[in-house]
Amino acid sequence: MNDPRLMASMPHALATPGSVDLWRLSVAEGRQRVACASYLQWLDHQERTRYQRSTDQGWREQFLIGHGWLREVLARYLECDPARIILGQGRYGKPELLAPKQSSLHFNLSHTQGLLVLAVSRSPVGVDVEAHRYRDVFALCQRFFSEGERRTLSRTTRPRRLACFYRMWTLKEAWVKAAGIGIGWQWRQLRVVRKGTASGLDGPSCWRLAASGSLEGYSIAIAGMSPRAISVRTFVDTALAGFGSSRDNLRWLEYHLDNGNASHMRFINQGVTL
């Protein structure tokens, strides 16, 4: 790799297909990275064209930070120059790694106001983050939530209602992104259920999910596939620490989505300091 700072901050390799690394980066830190890294040069021709044609400065900034940081993190696992990484899209538009071709790395990126999160795994993975914005949650529930979820939300006290809504929303979004099935999926068919343990749900195609609301003002959810409990390491990426990473102490709870084929995610938080 060309930049020794990237090599110095490279995490341990993903140990098993059931391992997931979850990274987060603030937009403020991202701005500093753009200033000292070759993010624009790392974009492919199509990405660079989209970036240059847009007149929305906010969108341009978020696009450049997201696509540059994504390559920077993936390069740590692939031990290659970020400029060598070529991205493509699957059937429903889910980003995927085209080169280096020998890699079996899966990833998923999500961003919201002020924050980006990235999940990396050897198996299909999805992640979603949402800033808590005040909105008419009941109107959205009529379209996207099951009857049971709407009852749960109506019984939730007003101070906790927004966080409850975003928890269910991000869990569904993370699963849809992990499965790569597109936004046309009928969300009301999926019912979010709190599940600490479950019997008879393990298997080679078992989806496992978890959500965190411990980052003030945000909800984050992750979905992965594994025949057994998934081990997740969490990182905060920082520009001020010389392209380093630090421990992330987010707290997580397990859930599953019940649509007749119940699935859940047993989650182990293993904060790692590099």
Q: What share of the chain is helix, strand, coil (3-state, %, to 5)?
A: 35, 30, 35
Reply yes or no on whether the pLDDT at 195 is more than 80.
Answer: no
- Identity at 112, one-letter amino acid code: T
Reply yes or no on whether the pLDDT at 240 is more than 80.
Answer: no
For residue 263, what are the β-bridge partners? Answer: 257
Q: What is the pLDDT of residue 129?
A: 95
* Domain coverage including residue 191: 4-269
**Is 151 within the bounds of a domain?**
yes
**Is 274 within the bounds of a domain?**
no
Cα(8)–Cα(196) distance, rounded to whole angstroms? Answer: 37
C-beta neighbour count of 77 within 10 angstroms: 18
- The predicted model gives 268-273 an average pLDDT of 33
**Is 153 within the bounds of a domain?**
yes
Q: What is the pLDDT of residues 200-237, one digit of tens each?
A: 334 445 677 777 776 888 999 888 876 665 566 778 87
Whether pTM exceeds 0.85: no
Q: Which two tokens stand for residue 9?
A: 């901050």
Q: Which two tokens stand for residue 32?
A: 């500093």
Q: What is the pLDDT of residue 89?
A: 86
Q: What is the pLDDT of residues 131-185, one digit of tens each?
A: 998 888 888 888 888 888 888 888 988 888 899 899 888 988 888 888 887 655 6
Cα(182)–Cα(97) distance, rounded to whole angstroms? Answer: 18
Above pLDDT 70, what percent of the chain?
Answer: 67
Own/partner long-range contacts of 105-109 (Cβ < 8 Å, ≥24 apart): 105/14, 105/74, 105/77, 105/78, 107/70, 107/74, 108/177, 108/178, 109/66, 109/70
- The predicted model gives 90-111 an average pLDDT of 85
Q: What is the pLDDT of residues 64-73, one digit of tens each?
A: 999 999 999 9
Reply yes or no on whether the pLDDT at 50 is more than 90.
Answer: yes
Cα(45)–Cα(125) distance, rounded to whole angstroms? Answer: 26
The larger pLDDT score, comparing residue 55 to residue 255, is at 55
Q: What is the pLDDT of residue 183?
A: 59
Q: What is the pLDDT of residue 227?
A: 64
**Is 122 within the bounds of a domain?**
yes
Cα separation values, 137 from 72, 162, 187, 192, Å:
36, 7, 15, 16
- The predicted model gives 9-35 an average pLDDT of 76
Q: What is the pLDDT of residue 67?
A: 94
Query: Which is it for the CA torsion 129, 134, 137, 140, positive or negative?
Result: negative
Q: What is the pLDDT of residue 131?
A: 92
What's the mean per-residue pLDDT of the chain? 76
Give the pLDDT band (50/70/90) at residue 17. Answer: low
**Is 67 within the bounds of a domain?**
yes
The enclosing domain of 157 has a CATH number of 3.90.470.20
Q: Where are the beta strands (DSSP E) in the chain?
A: 19-26, 86-89, 95-99, 106-112, 115-121, 125-131, 191-194, 207-212, 218-225, 230-238, 244-247, 253-258, 263-264, 267-269
Reply yes or no on whether the pLDDT at 252 is more than 60.
Answer: yes
The larger pLDDT score, comparing residue 159 to residue 1, is at 159
Reply yes or no on whether the pLDDT at 105 is more than 70.
Answer: yes
| Structural domains of the chain, count | 1
**Is 148 within the bounds of a domain?**
yes
**Is 38 within the bounds of a domain?**
yes
Give the pLDDT band (50/70/90) at residue 260. Answer: very low
Q: What is the pLDDT of residue 70?
A: 94
For the chain, what's the residue count?
A: 274
Give the pLDDT band (50/70/90) at residue 32. Answer: confident
